[in-house]
């Protein structure tokens, strides 16, 4: 089925870009879920989709270097996350699931290292 780029789903698909009709990266149901979580905000849904792809990229592709091949999954994921951040700013809304805040307490690991949060 052809992608309709005039619909919210098609616009998200075009922006991430996930335009292969034969083998899409994300299903229509996944993109619809991102649109729902972002309350219909296209930029928020795009950011969520990019974050999902970045997470999958990190899980699937490790850093591998051979004589004639280099696969740098973490670097690809970072580029996707940077793009997601720019869409989050454009969305004007918080679409993340959590935020990290300083609590002022200190963690000590088993080697005696301290880190204040």
pLDDT of res. 93: 60
Rounded distance between C-alpha atoms, residue 26 and residue 24, angstroms:
5
Rounded distance between C-alpha atoms, residue 86 and residue 90, angstroms:
6
The proportion of the chain whose per-residue pLDDT surpasses 90, expressed as a percent, equals 32
Q: What angle do CA 97, 16, 80 make, to 5 degrees?
A: 65
pTM of the model: 0.65
φ/ψ of 15, rounded to 5, equals -75, -25
Domain assignment present for residue 107? The answer is no
Based on the structure, what is the number of domains in the chain? 1
Per residue in 56-69, pLDDT (tens digit) is 877 777 777 788 87
Rounded distance between C-alpha atoms, residue 31 and residue 13, angstroms:
8
Domain assignment present for residue 22? The answer is yes
**Which structural domain, as residue segments, surrounds residue 31?**
8-92
CB atoms within 10 A of CB 108: 9
The proportion of the chain whose per-residue pLDDT surpasses 70, expressed as a percent, equals 77
């Amino acid at each position: 089925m052809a992608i309709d780029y005039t619909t919210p789903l098609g616009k998200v698909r075009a922006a991430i870009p996930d335009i292969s009709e034969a083998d899409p990266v994300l299903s229509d149901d996944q993109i619809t879920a991102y649109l729902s979580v972002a309350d219909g905000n296209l930029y928020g849904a795009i950011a969520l989709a990019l974050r999902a792809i970045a997470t999958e990229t990190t899980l699937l592709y490790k850093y591998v270097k051979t004589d004639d091949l280099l696969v740098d999954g973490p670097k690809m994921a970072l580029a996707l996350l940077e793009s997601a951040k720019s869409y989050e700013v454009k969305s004007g809304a918080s679409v993340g699931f959590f935020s990290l805040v300083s609590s002022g307490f200190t963690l000590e690991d088993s080697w005696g290292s301290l880190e204040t949060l």
